[in-house]
Amino acid sequence: MPTLVLSFSLHTSFRAGCNSRPAVKVREPQLGPIRWNSGADGESPDGRKGTLMRRAVDNPVDGVAVDDVMRAALDATSGTHPHPNPRVGAVIVSPAGVVRAVGVHIGPGHPHAERVALASLGSVAGDTMVVTLEPCNHQGRTPPCTDAIIDSGIRRVIVGARDPDTKVSGRGIARLRSAGVEVIDSGLASIVEANDPSYYHHRRTGLPLVTLKIAMTLDGQIAARDGSSQWITSPEAREDAHVLRSRNDAVAVGAGTIREDDPLLTVRLDGYDRHQPRPIVFKGHKDLPTGARVLARDPIIVESHSGSSTDMAASLRSLADQDITSVLVEGGATIARTLVDAGLVDVLIVYIGASLAAGAGLAPFAGSFDSIDDARTIVFQSVERIGPDIKITAQIGDPS
């Protein structure tokens, strides 16, 4: 039975320009006191061994709580979708503890958060920069942020998390320190990573973070026997599902869903005018309908003739190579079963509609359930009421 590591964010309110609020209240992470040790045991909070930077708990920002300033940096990224780049916010604080500037990165080719914050000010000599991610030290579409920080006269940088990208991975920190800039570990890496889970997952695993979404009746039917399913869940739950779409790089379905429902796979929320996820269609030997609406949206067509776990893993790795850091899978039953069998589901979200089928229609997973020994362990992360429906967020497998 596969064990999957959950990497799911329940951290930020939806601020993507919607006039109507989502039916679900999305919870903020709690930034409590920093209780990491000072490194005397030679181990960092995430379990990595080695030389540690000084901890922010030992180095308050001139009377300003580090967690408060890091919160401002994280809040600055709310509503941004810069993938495949990371979500990054930066705050510059004066020696008197006053927040002077806030910068955010909005996407590839645009200035990074550190440079945005610096550009809004004149002299910053002696100031402190609090940034959610380790500054880059390589030339990409934009120049290295470390150069801008060093040239500016910033005396101290507090880093939220190290960048897992192999092009950075400690090099930014090393460059700043070699130039005499004090670099401090915030001790808040787990919270910072929760602000952009798919980026960290993508860089560490070479795979997109996969969320499997299921909408079903109380007794586990995703559609009637005739294929009809509109609507099993309430308008409130469907709105929340569109919020989910807005947070993912791509939305994937099987060819059967395209033939049956002809979906556009777009985010449809009042006032929403930002990122639209890339549509992905998994297909076998049969061709897609030539008039399918999704074809006008430049979908990625994944041909998977064998339907094996190995084939699915290779397909996901190919998507990651195309800079897809997260995929929301919305159907169908064969794809769902293949992903679960392959241990490729990172987050499971189930909407249970306030309805009872009271009969056998279509189940959320293909195949048979032959023995109770075949059942997989589920670890519930949250259970929420959305309108008349229930939303369950879980991981599959034992986290230990």
Q: How far is residue 45's CA from residue 52's CA, in Å, rounded to a whole number?
A: 10
Based on the fold, state whether residues 72 and 126 are members of the same structural domain.
yes
State which residues form the domain around 73.
Answer: 54-194
Q: Among the three residues 150, 167, 194, which one is the final residue of a domain in this structure?
A: 194
Interacting residues of 313 by C-beta distance below 8 A, sequence separation 6+: 207, 342, 344
Question: Do both 115 and 183 map to the same domain?
Answer: yes
Domain boundary among 194, 215, 250: 194
Annotated active-site residue 114? The verdict is yes
CATH number, residue 351 = 3.40.430.10
Structurally, the chain folds into a number of domains equal to 2
* Residues 135 and 217 grouped into a single domain: no
- 190 and 287 inside one domain: no
Same domain membership, residue 380 and residue 291: yes
Gap between the Cα atoms of 71 and 90, Å rounded: 10
Catalytic residue among 28, 114, 239, 303, which?
114
The reply to whether omega before 17 is within 30° of 0 (cis) is no
pTM over 0.95: no
Both 296 and 340 in one domain: the answer is yes
pLDDT in tens, the chain (400 residues): 332 322 223 333 322 333 333 333 333 333 333 222 223 333 332 333 333 344 444 445 555 578 888 999 999 998 899 999 999 999 999 888 888 999 999 889 899 999 999 998 889 998 999 999 999 987 777 788 999 999 999 999 999 999 999 888 889 999 999 999 999 988 899 999 999 999 999 999 999 999 999 999 999 999 888 888 889 999 999 999 999 999 999 999 999 889 888 999 999 999 998 899 999 999 888 889 999 999 999 999 998 766 677 788 999 999 999 999 999 999 888 899 999 999 999 999 999 999 999 889 899 999 989 899 999 999 999 999 999 999 999 999 866 5
Report yes or no: 3 and 399 within 8 Å, Cβ to Cβ. Answer: yes
